[in-house]
Structure formats: structure tokens, C-alpha cells
Amino acid sequence: MSLVDVGNVADTFFQQVPIIDLFNIESKDATLRKELVDKVRHACMSVGFFYVKNHGIPEEYIDGALSFAKKFFSLSTESKMMIENKKTPNFKGYSPLLSGNNNPENAGDLQEGFEFGWEVLNKSEDSNATEDGVMAGANVWPSEEDIPGFRDNVLKYYHATVKLGKSMFPLFALALNQRENFFEDKTRHSAALMKLLHYPPQSGTVDDRVIGIGAHTDWECFTILWQQPGIQALQVLNAEKNWINAPPIPGTLVINLGDQFARWTNDIFKSTVHRAINRSGVERYSIPLFFGTDYNVKLEPIPSCVSPEHPLKYEVVTAGDYVQARLKATFNH
């Protein structure tokens, strides 16, 4: 059965968010490897969302990033606006409340964020410089006087999450019946953006035109999301157009596919619509890492994902052009 046929069958499955154990992600046992790949393939083709456990990221790295995120968002508005993302061509830096709008039908996203990309942790090391193209530009950071240790602590978690993301790409390649290193030459420069997010508590009905983040798809290949324990906010739109909760589960991270994989696979892999609404009555924090192909790579469909019955759906663009266009649409509303 071709990938196109498998994708059509997957559309009929009841959509839910599975939990996938990554314990055997580096196993050389072919049987164990195939079992893991099959679970990833099913999740990618049926729902586009799954949890992962045994992901290998130390809990202290997560705790450190969260602690410094709270310190950053507690700064004065004046201090945070010194590094506003609209001051940089690549939109890195601080985004204030309601400055972004992921759903054009809404009035704004009730969240504030801080976004950054690849940077070596030890400044004395040679940089794995990205070939950014239209996304060129360095990170911006709050001053060391304002938050001592901020950069080092959030980058420590960033690098651990990038390592996890790189280990996921071979699984996605095998799930697409490609060679294991299919994405290796397309992901050499860590085109990965991490965002610290703060959601104030929100009251009112779900269909208000201002919610935590409006219904949207992510733009890169996939997102690795840490959610604050004990607070339900993330919701996924299933095939029946119903919103289903994707609550935080202790010891797991959420993986959701994005538009770049949808373009690579001609929608065989699902880039699923989701949103976040914080009606918990308390502040909520989350940390997504958006992992894409290098910005100079063309998002060309894999031949096995195109057929006369499943024709090409998207124009071919570079990853950087696509990400920049989506950033402009989100923050220049």
C-alpha cells in the first residue's frame, strides 16, 4: 500500500492523542525500531499529535527554564519592550500581550512570549551558524543585570530539546518509507526556534474573540511542547471538527506536526489545528520548540506522497520564506 493509500485510510480512524514511549529510540534491534516507527507513522497520519515519554531531557533543565521564564515575564513592561520582537527582522525577542494573532478571525492572542533560536551555550565555542537567509539575525537577550543567568539557563534546555528533535527526524523519515538519514542534509543548521510563553488567567466563554492563542497550525516540521503541570489549556481539532483536550501528562512532552511536514508529505502527515485557552484561574506557562528544516531548503514534496488521485497541493517555497511570511502575518496584524 502506498503512502497516499495509507493516508486516506488513516483519515477514517478515530482521532485521539496517543502516548509514545521513546525508550527504544536508539535501539539497534530492528523489531523494536519498527514497532516505534509504526506508532509514529500512525500518529502522524491519523492525528498529527502525540505525547512522548522517556524523552531523555533532565527535569532540572525544564525547571531551570521555567524558573527564568517566570523571572523574565515579571520584569516591567518597559524592560521587556526594550527587546520587542518587532525591532528585529526575524521577530526574535519579546512579544507583548495581544501583539500576535494566529487566527485572523480573532482580535489577538492573550499571551506574551520570548523567542530565540540557535546559539552556542559556551560563547568560546565555534558557532554552528545557521544559513538563515531571510531569517538572518542574532538572538536578543534581557540584560544580565535584569536577570543574571537567564541566557545560560534557557539555552541549556534549548540544546537538550534540539538534541531530542534531531533524534526524532530519523523516525519520521522511516515512517515515510525513506532512508533513515533523509532529513540529515536538510537539518544541519538547527533551524529551531524556542518560545517561552506566559498566559494570564482568562474568564469568559470559549468563543470569545480573544483567547490564549487562536486556532492555528504550527509552521515548522514539528513542535516539542512542554506544558505546565495541572493546567488544562491545549485543545486539538479532530477529524469530526470537535475540540479535544490535550492535557499535560507528568513526564511527557507533546509533539505536534507543522506545515513544513504537511508540505513535504502533501498532507499525508497531518498539520493539525490547535488552540490554547487558559481558564484555570491562575497564570500558565508553556515552552514550545519549533523545529524545521534549514531555512534555505526548498519544501518539495516527497514523490511517494503525490499521485494522480492525490495531486500536489502546495507551491514550492523555501523554509525560511515560509516561516518569515507566517511571522509577518501573525505580528503585523
pLDDT band for 138, please (50, 70, 90 cuts). confident
- Supply the Cα-derived Rg of the chain in whole angstroms: 19
Let me know: does 224 contact 289? Beta carbons within 8 Å. Answer: yes
Say whether pLDDT at 200 is over 90: no
Higher pLDDT: 10 or 149? It is: 149
Class of domain 3-331: mainly beta
Question: What average pLDDT does this structure show over 144-163?
Answer: 96
Residue 71's alpha-carbon distances to 62, 140, 146, 150, in angstroms, are 14, 16, 9, 9
Q: What angle do CA 281, 284, 285 make, to 5 degrees?
A: 175
pLDDT tens digit sequence for 246-266: 999 999 999 999 999 999 999
DSSP line for 159-177: HHHHHHHHHHHHHHHHHTT
Q: Provide the pLDDT for residue 246.
A: 92
The whole-number average pLDDT for the span 147-162 is 96
CB 287 within 8 A of CB 157: yes
- Residue 151, pLDDT > 50, answer yes
Does the structure show a pLDDT above 50 at 2?
Answer: no
Going from the C-alpha of 55 to that of each of 20, 40, 167, 224, 232, the distances in angstroms are: 10, 14, 10, 11, 21
pLDDT digits (tens, 9 = 90+) for 55-111: 999 999 999 999 999 999 999 999 998 998 777 777 788 988 765 555 555 555 678
Average pLDDT rounded to a whole number, residues 160-185:
95
Tell me the per-residue pLDDT of 117-134, one tens digit each, with 9 for 90 and over. 998 888 655 455 454 555
pLDDT at residue 188 in the model? 87
Mean pLDDT of 6-17: 44
89/97 Cα distance (integer angstroms): 20
The predicted pLDDT at position 229 comes to 94
Report residue 320: phi and psi, to 5°: -65, -45
Q: CB pairs under 8 A, 24+ apart, for 298-301?
A: 299/260, 299/263, 299/264, 300/264, 301/263, 301/264, 301/265, 301/266
Rounded to whole angstroms, what are the CA distances from 182 to 91, 288, 322?
30, 24, 21
Q: Can you give the pTM of this predicted structure?
A: 0.87
Average pLDDT over residues 161-188: 95
d(CA 150, CA 129): 21
- Where along the chain do its domains lie? 3-331
pLDDT for 51: 96
pLDDT, greater one: 155 or 240: 155
pLDDT of residue 100: 56
What are residue 206's phi and psi, to 5 degrees?
-60, -30
